[in-house]
């Protein structure tokens, strides 16, 4: 079954020391998320020090087709997205959200369902090399992830997929990395592009279940002569 792919790009803006009115004052390695209320801001303050500014732009300008599923569960589309959670991580391997790799976790952010273009900004990002990861949800409490789950580490508490079914989690990571150099805060990408690239695959349709009753009948004894050679 062909998956529906959502493409979004993370464009890099110039160095900025300014703070905007809607800045979220969150510290590095924090995950103090209040899922009972969505944050209506799109500015994520990564640190209290001056740093680079990275914009996460969801671009859903491409057309999407949903495969029908009668009496089943239809494939997910951009119309199902209600909230999003973003991460800055040092790894795109099997354990990107471990304490060793995770740099910043956003709160649960609101998303305008069906929107073809929506942006979020990481503000004051310190020097380092980063990947971007995202989770997309069809509810405002961020409990119903609609990204097709893939295998991640889950052996101990703190691993990316610890507590998730079959060690799989609906998380999508960028295929390229971004390096911000110290002092100058110059930004460069591993593939010489100007943005992060990430393509989350939304959940496929689940077809209807058809119950079939099997009623076997006993065979009959065969009468007649048995020939032995």
pLDDT 10s digits, 32-51: 333 335 666 678 888 888 88
Give domain status of residue 169, yes or no. Answer: yes
Better-predicted residue by pLDDT, 120 or 126: 126
* Cα–Cα distance, 109 to 114 (Å, whole number): 15
Distances (CA, A) of 5 to 27, 42, 186, 200, 203: 32, 23, 31, 6, 10
Distances (CA, A) of 8 to 58, 114, 200, 202: 4, 14, 9, 13
Give domain status of residue 32, yes or no. Answer: no
Q: Which domain holds residue 89?
A: 4-25+37-63+71-202
Give domain status of residue 228, yes or no. Answer: no
Most confident option among 18-32, 85-99, 106-120, 206-220: 85-99
pLDDT tens across 139-181, in order?
999 999 999 999 999 999 999 999 999 999 999 888 888 899 9
Dihedral angle computed from the Cα positions of residues 39, 60, 145 and 26, in that order, rounded to the nearest 10 degrees: -30
pLDDT at 23: 37
Give domain status of residue 221, yes or no. Answer: no
Distances (CA, A) of 201 to 6, 58, 75, 98, 128: 6, 14, 10, 22, 28
Give domain status of residue 140, yes or no. Answer: yes
Give domain status of residue 168, yes or no. Answer: yes
pLDDT at 205: 77
Give domain status of residue 181, yes or no. Answer: yes
Give domain status of residue 186, yes or no. Answer: yes
If one counts the domains in the chain, the total is: 1
């Amino acid at each position: 079954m062909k998956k529906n792919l959502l493409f979004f790009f993370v464009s890099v803006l110039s160095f900025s020391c300014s703070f905007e009115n809607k800045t979220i004052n969150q510290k590095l390695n924090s995950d103090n998320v209040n899922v009972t209320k969505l944050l209506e801001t799109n500015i994520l303050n990564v640190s209290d020090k001056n740093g680079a500014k990275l914009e996460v732009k969801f671009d859903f300008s491409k057309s999407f087709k949903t495969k029908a599923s009668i009496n089943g569960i239809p494939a997910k589309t951009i119309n199902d997205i209600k909230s999003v959670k973003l991460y800055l991580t040092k790894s795109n391997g099997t354990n990107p959200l471990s304490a060793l790799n995770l740099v910043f976790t956003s709160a649960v952010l609101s998303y305008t369902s069906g929107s073809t273009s929506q942006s979020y900004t990481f503000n004051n990002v310190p020097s380092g090399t980063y990947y971007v990861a995202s989770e997309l949800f069809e509810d405002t409490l961020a409990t119903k992830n609609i990204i097709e789950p893939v295998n991640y580490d889950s052996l101990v508490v703190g691993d990316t997929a610890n507590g998730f079914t079959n060690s799989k989690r609906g998380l999508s990571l960028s295929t390229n990395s971004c390096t911000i150099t110290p002092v100058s805060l110059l930004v460069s990408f591993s593939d010489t592009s100007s943005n992060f690239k990430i393509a989350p695959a939304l959940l496929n349709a689940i077809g209807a279940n058809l119950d079939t009753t099997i009623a076997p009948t006993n065979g009959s004894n065969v009468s007649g002569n048995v020939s032995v050679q």
